[in-house]
C-alpha cells in the first residue's frame, strides 16, 4: 500500500511498509502478513513480545512496565468523560517511558487552579462581570476575586503549544484564569484540559486585535510614563495590559521579567499575552516566583514535560491518526526511533544533512550499521524473515517526520538494499510529507500534531536544532534527544560529532532577555539552572 491521497492531493502514508501489522494494546497479539505461511511470523511475534517483557538487556531500554499510570502520577484528575477525549486516559498505554513524577505541590496546585477555572471561567457570573468591567475601559477599582490571562499564540503548531504552556505556567503562578485564543485550532486539536469548564476564549470577547501599536502595550505604557512602578490607584489604570513578547519586542517589553513590573501587572484584572515562544526560563528570573517554582518543579528540566502532559491531549480525530499509525508501524518493534528533520520548503535536498543523520544514528547506537550490497550472506528478500525467526531477534521501527519525503526515501532505501551488520530488522516509515507548511489548514494541523505525538512515543529521538516541533516531542516523551546542530555558516558542527545529546528535556527560549533587570549581568549566568542553548546560543533553557 503506497498511501492515501487527501482532498488536497497530498499523500498521507499511514502504514506503507514491508510488514503490515495490527496490534491490540490490551492483549499482546500481533498479526504480520508476509504473503506466506502464518507459522513463522507467529514464532517471531512471540520472540519479539517476550523481549519487551524481559527487561533490560543489550537491546532493550532502561524502562519497561506492565501497568499503566493513566493519571501520570496525579497530573490528571479522574472524572472526565472518556468518550469525549480518548487520549486523556489511553495515552499511558502507548508509552514505554512512564515519565518523571510530578511534585505533590504541583499536583495540589493544579487541583486549586482547576477550581479557579470553574469558579471564574466563561459562563459564570464572575466572568460576565469582568467582561463588563473591561468594556467600560477602566480597570477594576479593588482587587477582584477573578483575574484573567488571555493567551494569543501564533505561527507553527510547535510555537503555539510552547506559548500556551508558558501562558499557563504564568497563570498558575499569578492565580489567573487562562483563556486561549480559539482562532488557531486550539479547540480542534486539543481536548479541554480543565474539568467542567472551558479554556477557550468566547467569541463574544470584546477585544481581538493586538500588536506592536496597541496603545495598551505594556512596554509602550512603561516607555511613555503612562505606567510607573511607583504605587498607582488600580482604578486609574487602563482596563487591561497587553504583554508583547514578539520578535520585535523592545527592552521595555522585556521588563515583564522584572520583579517591580510584576507587582505592577498584578494590579490589572485583565492581561493579554501574545508570543510564539517558550518564555518559561524568563519566569525563573522573577524573584517573587522563584520559591514557588522551586516547589512546583524540583526537577527544572521537567517543567514542560509536566505542563505538556497535563494540558495537551489530542482530540479523538487526531488520536485516531496516532493510534492507527502506531499499531501498524511502531507497536511490533523492540526499539522505536524517532527522527525529526526540519527543513524549509525552499531548501534543496541535502546529502550532507542525510549523512549527518545516518552517522548520528549509527555511531550513537540508535540504529545498526550496514553491510555492503555485495554481501552474499543475507539477501534483502530474506533479511526480515531470517532475523525475525532467529533466537534473540532484534527489530527497530523508525518514524521520520519532515515536510519532504527525500530523507525518508533515502533511509528506507539504505535499510532495504543493504543487510544490517547485526542481522537486525529495520523498517523505516514516514506518516506524511506535505512539502509546505500550510498555516490554518486543519488537515495539515491534524497531521502535524499527530506526528509530534508519534515522535513522543519513541524510545530514542533525533531532532533538528532550533525546531519547536522537536522541542514539544522531546518534552512530551521525557527524553533528552540527540540534536543535529549547525554552525553559523550552515555546516555541521563536527567539533561535537554529527549530533550532540541535549543537556535537558526543556525547550529553548529563543528570544530571551539578554540581561537581568538591575545588574546587567548575562542572563545565562544569573540563575544556576538557566543556561544558554546549544542550538540557539543567545537563547535560554532550564537545566538541572
pLDDT band at 280 (very low <50, low <70, confident <90, very high): very high
Give yes or no for residue 398 having a pLDDT over 50: yes
Lowest mean pLDDT among 54-58, 260-264, 419-423: 54-58
Q: What is the mean pLDDT of residues 197-203?
A: 96
Averaged pLDDT of the chain? 82
pLDDT tens by residue, 286-345:
999 999 999 999 999 999 999 999 999 999 999 999 999 999 999 999 999 999 998 876
pLDDT of residue 438: 57
pLDDT tens by residue, 502-538:
999 999 999 888 766 776 666 666 778 999 999 999 9
Higher confidence at residue 52 or residue 250? Answer: 250
Percentage with pLDDT > 90 across the chain: 62
Question: What's this model's pTM, rounded to 2 decimal places?
Answer: 0.83
Q: What is the mean pLDDT of residues 231-255?
A: 87
pLDDT tens by residue, 84-100:
999 999 999 999 888 89
Three cell numbers written together for 437: 507548511
* Residue bearing cell 491534524: 446
Are 260 and 269 in contact, with CB atoms under 8 Å apart? no
Give yes or no for residue 52 having a pLDDT over 80: no
> Rounded distance, CA 71 to CA 99, Å?
12
pLDDT of residue 53: 32
pLDDT band at 184 (very low <50, low <70, confident <90, very high): confident
pLDDT of residue 482: 96
Residues in a beta bridge with 425: 395
Give yes or no for residue 389 having a pLDDT over 60: no
pLDDT tens by residue, 120-144:
999 999 999 999 999 999 898 777 8
pLDDT of residue 4: 37
Domain range list for the chain: 4-66+314-501, 104-305
What single DSSP character describes residue 49?
H
Q: What is the mean pLDDT of residues 436-449?
A: 77
Three cell numbers written together for 510: 529563543
Give yes or no for residue 243 having a pLDDT over 60: yes
pLDDT band at 174 (very low <50, low <70, confident <90, very high): very high
> Rounded distance, CA 353 to CA 208, Å?
42
pLDDT of residue 23: 35
Between strands 177-180 and 148-152, the pairing is parallel
Query: What is the dihedral sign for C-alpha 21, 22, 25, 26?
Result: negative
Nearest to 474 by CA among 340, 277, 359: 340
**SS3 readout for 211-262:** CCCCCCEHHHHHHCCCCCCCCCCHHHCECEEEEEECCCCCCCHHHHHCHHHH
Reported CATH class of domain 4-66+314-501: alpha beta
Give yes or no for residue 285 having a pLDDT over 80: yes
pLDDT of residue 79: 87
Phi-psi region for residue 73, left (φ > 0), alpha (ψ -120 to 50) or beta?
left
Give the 3-state secondary structure of residue 126: helix
Amino acid at each position: 500500500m503506497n498511501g492515501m491521497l487527501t482532498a488536497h492531493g497530498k499523500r498521507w502514508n499511514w502504514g506503507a511498509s514491508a510488514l503490515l501489522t495490527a496490534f491490540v494494546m490490551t492483549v499482546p497479539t500481533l498479526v504480520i502478513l508476509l504473503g506466506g505461511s502464518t507459522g513463522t511470523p507467529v514464532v517471531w511475534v512471540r520472540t519479539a513480545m517476550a523481549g519487551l517483557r524481559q527487561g533490560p538487556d543489550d537491546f532493550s531500554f532502561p524502562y519497561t512496565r506492565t501497568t499503566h499510570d493513566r493519571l501520570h502520577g496525579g497530573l490528571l484528575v479522574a472524572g472526565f468523560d472518556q468518550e469525549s477525549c480518548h487520549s486523556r486516559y489511553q495515552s499511558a498505554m502507548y508509552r514505554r517511558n512512564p515519565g518523571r513524577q510530578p511534585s505533590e505541590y504541583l499536583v495540589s496546585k493544579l487541583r486549586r487552579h482547576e477550581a479557579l477555572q470553574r469558579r471564574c471561567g466563561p459562563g459564570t457570573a464572575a466572568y460576565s462581570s469582568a467582561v463588563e468591567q473591561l468594556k467600560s475601559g477602566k480597570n477594576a477599582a479593588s482587587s477582584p476575586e477573578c483575574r484573567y490571562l488571555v493567551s494569543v499564540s501564533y505561527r507553527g503548531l510547535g510555537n503555539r503549544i510552547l506559548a500556551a504552556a508558558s501562558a499557563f505556567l504564568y497563570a498558575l503562578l499569578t492565580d489567573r484564569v487562562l483563556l486561549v485564543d480559539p482562532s488557531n485550532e486550539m479547540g480542534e486539536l486539543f481536548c479541554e484540559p480543565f474539568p467542567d469548564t472551558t479554556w477557550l476564549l468566547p467569541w463574544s470577547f470584546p477585544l481581538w486585535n493586538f500588536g506592536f501599536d496597541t496603545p495598551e502595550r505594556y512596554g509602550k505604557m512603561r516607555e511613555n510614563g503612562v505606567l510607573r512602578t511607583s504605587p498607582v490607584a488600580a482604578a486609574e489604570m487602563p482596563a487591561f495590559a497587553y504583554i508583547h513578547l514578539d520578535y520585535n519586542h523592545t527592552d521595555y517589553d522585556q521588563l515583564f521579567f522584572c520583579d517591580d513590573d510584576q507587582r505592577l501587572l498584578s494590579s490589572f484584572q485583565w492581561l493579554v499575552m501574545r508570543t510564539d515562544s517558550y518564555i518559561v526560563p524568563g519566569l525563573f528570573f522573577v524573584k517573587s516566583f522563584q520559591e514557588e517554582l522551586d516547589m512546583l518543579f524540583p526537577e527544572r528540566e521537567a517543567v514542560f514535560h509536566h505542563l505538556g502532559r497535563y494540558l495537551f491531549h489530542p482530540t479523538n480525530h487526531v488520536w485516531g491518526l496516532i493510534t492507527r499509525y502506531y499499531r501498524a508501524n511502531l507497536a511490533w518493534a523492540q526499539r522505536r526511533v524517532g527522527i525529526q528533520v526540519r527543513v524549509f520548503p525552499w531548501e534543496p535536498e541535502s546529502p550532507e544533512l542525510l549523512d549527518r543523520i545516518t552517522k548520528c544514528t549509527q555511531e550513537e547506537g540508535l540504529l545498526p550499521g550496514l553491510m555492503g550490497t555485495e554481501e552474499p550472506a543475507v539477501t534483502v528478500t530474506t533479511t526480515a524473515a531470517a532475523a525475525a525467526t532467529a533466537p534473540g531477534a532484534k527489530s527497530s521501527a523508525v518514524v521520520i517526520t519532515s515536510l519532504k519525503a527525500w530523507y525518508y526515501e533515502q533511509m528506507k532505501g539504505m535499510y532495504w538494499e543493504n543487510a544490517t551488520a547485526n542481522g537486525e530488522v529495520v523498517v523505516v516509515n514516514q506518516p506524511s510529507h506535505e512539502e509546505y507548511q500550510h498555516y490554518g489548514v486543519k488537515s495539515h494541523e491534524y497531521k502535524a500534531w499527530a506526528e509530534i505525538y508519534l515522535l513522543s512515543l519513541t524510545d530514542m529521538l533525533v531532532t533538528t536544532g532550533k525546531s519547536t516541533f522537536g522541542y514539544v516531542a522531546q518534552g512530551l516523551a521525557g527524553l533528552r534527544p540527540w540534536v543535529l546542530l549547525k554552525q553559523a555558516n550552515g555546516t555541521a558542527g563536527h567539533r561535537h560529532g554529527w549530533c550532540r545529546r541535549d543537556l535537558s528535556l526543556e525547550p529553548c527560549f529563543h528570544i530571551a532577555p539578554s540581561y537581568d533587570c538591575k545588574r546587567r549581568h548575562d542572563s545565562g549566568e544569573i540563575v544556576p539552572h538557566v543556561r544558554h542553548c546549544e542550538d540557539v546560543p543567545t537563547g535560554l533553557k532550564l537545566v538541572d
